[in-house]
Structure 1
Amino acid sequence: MLAARFRLPAERCQRRSRPPASSKQRLPRARCIIVMAGHPAANAWIEEHLGSKVVKESLVSSSGWSSAYVVDTQGGGRYFVKTALGRDEAMFKGEALGLQAMYDTNTIRIPKVFHYGPLAGAGRGGSFIVMEHLDMSRGRLSMRELGRRLALMHLAVPKEEHAAAGQFGFPVDNTIGGTPQANGWMSDWVVFLRDRRLMPQLKMAGDSRLMKMGEKLCSNLPSYFEGIQVRPSVLHGDLWSGNIGAVGEEPAIFDPACYYGHHEAEFGMSWCAGFSQDFYAAYHELIPRAPGFEQRAEIYRLYHYLNHLNLFGDSYYSSCASILQRLT
């Protein structure tokens, strides 16, 4: 995986807008997670299970959640490793299962996951994940091909039994940036969107004005889905420009917050993804726009704006309020 592309998903596209004078100031939540680069336990796993001695470690990046580095082995193998102290293996389980779910569609380039687990011997506890290293240093990203491949991924029949049976969710809860994202299975997409996505973010924001408008929106959610059929698609879940690259001519996506949901929800981070007209044209050649697409797109953007509000504070308040005003 290209070193320069690894960043904490929340550290992006912060459009600074002045919040209303009456709004409560929200500060980014403190994070007390200790991060590190290479760890003997991760290197030992690579040497034992991938069959070659580690000869070099190159730190890629550190964030509030983990450190990332590239490992080179004596046999010429190269792997992308992330480690985190103070977090058990659930830290990377959601990422590993999400990458595997997308990888299994065989539609777009996804780094193969080799292992995730606890960091043995880490005094404060910790975890790590080992995956394929994608060399994106010379990649040439085609927006048209990205749109086509993403549509194919969304059209793929899920291997996961609950999703294949028409349910929405994911086998484990995960995170969206630093925010917990509940994924318990539900058979009704509108209820899932209300109870697993919008309401938790609104409650976390703790703002009576937003909550009042949000409750009104949620009571009216079914009307936005009248006349369309929603089936579970595997979603990257946090698709912005920092999680997109190319290996040669082949589009690649990584660092997901996966779940099975409505394919249109994938565009909730479109304000920070730089998707071109060619991208949307190729995507909608395979999955045509359904009536009401633009209004539902606002709802899906709202989820991510609320998450940014909860992570970073009032610079996102006016965006959340504006969307809610338009929808209610």
Structure 2
Amino acid sequence: MLLCKQRGMNQTAHRRAATSPSVHRSATRRPFTTGRSRAGVRVMAGHPAANKWIEEQLGTGPVVKESFVSGSGWSSAYVVETQGGCRYFVKTALGRDEGMFRGEALGLQAMYDTHTLRIPKVFHYGLLEGAGRGGSFIVMEHLDMRGGRLDSGELGRRLARMHLATPKDEHAAAGQFGFPVDNTIGGTQQLNGWTSDWVAFLRDKRLGPQLQMTGDSQLKRMGEQLCSNLHTYFDGIEVRPSVLHGDLWSGNIGAVGSEPTIFDPATYYGHHEAEFGMSWCAGFSQDFYRAYHEIIPRAPGFEQRAEIYRLYHYLNHLNLFGDSYYSQCASILKRLT
């Protein structure tokens, strides 16, 4: 897929910087300015407000180096090194309030709290003071993935355990689907809220908004037909809220040593099968699926529901990146209606 190649650029930059959470769909633009470290080596400079927070709040000395990792139309990422030898992963978004990074921070924390996969710890998110057109930033743990060895079976087992973990959030623990805040899927707002009806959540918070954004009458007509019969795909199965990464593709997966890690989420509490909506851009192996389904067996109708969950992500790609994703959306809708 076209976007898998674009996202692969991000993954390469991410590995080269030996960092953990990277930015979606990298571009080559520079986020701010360039400067020199104290050793005189020219480096990419991050935003001074983010660096100031690190220096004042984390107690590891002044920032001596910032290395640009990747950027997109909505955020930029870099690695900060302090005089005390500590590294932090920083993402910034000019022109955006802190809502995007609030969603990311809460999502990382929700996954972190399951104690299953290696999730980067979030230190802070907030507004960029002094940014001319506003902006926000997030500071998190730097994970060194140099030499990491990803075991697909171990990833599958740990992901299944994450999906089975009892949520810390009281709404999700009580059987509701959603998330405490709206967040983003790439650059698209992802609506959440809480409901005890998974089919209604999938229809009203996921498929419906994406279909409306396309502005395409044919897709909307087929989408309305699918949504009117959506409940039939869930007859006879139990759906309980699982904490989901929400945008799990190859660029958001890595390993710290032999420990699998996932990052850059679009988290919410939903049906565990929805996690595989980006499988077409994830490269999950048979070992991965075998290990996952040894813990959470496939329920009847899995393949048809998988099409519905892929549709959500194809629609999002259509809305973000244009008509190269139209045929996939139309084909799935034709098969399901």
- Runs of 4+ in structure 1 off by over 4 angstroms are 4-8
| Amino acid paired to 2:184 | T
The equivalent position to 1:190 in structure 2, one of 189, 199, 202, is 199
| 1:52 lines up with 2:67 in the alignment | no
How many angstroms does 1:67 deviate by?
A: 1.4
Find the aligned partners of 2:92 and 2:185 in 1 and give their Cα distance: 18
Aligned twin of 2:24: 9
How many angstroms does 1:325 deviate by?
A: 0.8
Aligned twin of 2:225: 216
Aligned twin of 1:226: 235
Normalising by structure 1, report the TM-score.
Answer: 0.90
The equivalent position to 1:277 in structure 2, one of 286, 298, 303, is 286
How many angstroms does 1:34 deviate by?
A: 9.5
Please identify, of 75-84 and 235-244, the stretch whose mean Cα deviation from structure 2 is larger: 75-84
Find the aligned partners of 2:273 and 2:224 in 1 and give their Cα distance: 22
| Amino acid paired to 1:209 | Q
Contact 1:6 1:242 in 2 (8 A): no
Please identify, of 56-65 and 99-108, the stretch whose mean Cα deviation from structure 2 is larger: 56-65
Contact 2:22 2:77 in 1 (8 A): no
Query: Any unmatched runs of 5+ in structure 2?
Result: 1-13, 33-44
Contact 2:22 2:264 in 1 (8 A): no
Q: Secondary structure at the match of 1:169?
A: strand
Q: Secondary structure at the match of 2:293?
A: helix
| 1:235 lines up with 2:250 in the alignment | no
| 1:40 lines up with 2:40 in the alignment | no
The equivalent position to 2:126 in structure 1, one of 91, 101, 117, is 117
Aligned twin of 1:103: 112
Question: After superposition, where does 1:252-291 map in structure 2 within 5 Å?
Answer: 252-291=261-300
| Amino acid paired to 1:40 | P
Q: Secondary structure at the match of 1:234?
A: strand
Find the aligned partners of 1:47 and 1:10 in 2 and give their Cα distance: 29
| 1:245 lines up with 2:254 in the alignment | yes
Find the aligned partners of 2:65 and 2:327 in 1 and give their Cα distance: 47
Aligned twin of 2:80: 71
Aligned twin of 2:102: 93
Query: Any unmatched runs of 5+ in structure 1?
Result: 13-32
Relative to structure 1, is the Cα distance of residues 301 and 10 closer, same or farther in structure 2, using a 3 angstrom cutoff? farther
Q: Secondary structure at the match of 1:185?
A: strand
| 1:81 lines up with 2:90 in the alignment | yes
Please identify, of 46-55 and 215-224, the stretch whose mean Cα deviation from structure 2 is larger: 46-55
Find the aligned partners of 1:34 and 1:278 in 2 and give their Cα distance: 39
| Amino acid paired to 1:47 | E
Please identify, of 258-267 and 203-212, the stretch whose mean Cα deviation from structure 2 is larger: 203-212
| 1:303 lines up with 2:318 in the alignment | no
Find the aligned partners of 1:66 and 1:179 in 2 and give their Cα distance: 13
Output the aligned Cα RMSD. Answer: 1.7
Aligned twin of 1:19: none
Relative to structure 1, is the Cα distance of residues 298 and 142 closer, same or farther in structure 2, using a 3 angstrom cutoff? same
Find the aligned partners of 1:259 and 1:215 in 2 and give their Cα distance: 24
Aligned twin of 2:145: 136
CA offsets 1:173-213 (integer angstroms, 9 cap, x no match): 01111111100111100000000000111111111111111
Find the aligned partners of 2:49 and 2:334 in 1 and give their Cα distance: 51
Q: Secondary structure at the match of 2:193?
A: coil
Relative to structure 1, is the Cα distance of residues 76 and 7 closer, same or farther in structure 2, using a 3 angstrom cutoff? closer
Contact 1:8 1:65 in 2 (8 A): no
Contact 2:21 2:120 in 1 (8 A): no
Q: Give me the identity figure in percent.
A: 81
Aligned twin of 2:71: 62
Question: After superposition, where does 1:156-175 map in structure 2 within 5 Å?
Answer: 156-175=165-184
How many angstroms does 1:224 deviate by?
A: 0.5
Normalising by structure 2, report the TM-score.
Answer: 0.88
How many angstroms does 1:91 deviate by?
A: 2.4
Find the aligned partners of 2:48 and 2:331 in 1 and give their Cα distance: 49
Question: After superposition, where does 1:24-35 map in structure 2 within 5 Å?
Answer: 35=31
Contact 2:79 2:90 in 1 (8 A): yes
Q: Secondary structure at the match of 2:150?
A: coil
Find the aligned partners of 1:121 and 1:243 in 2 and give their Cα distance: 31
| 1:294 lines up with 2:303 in the alignment | yes
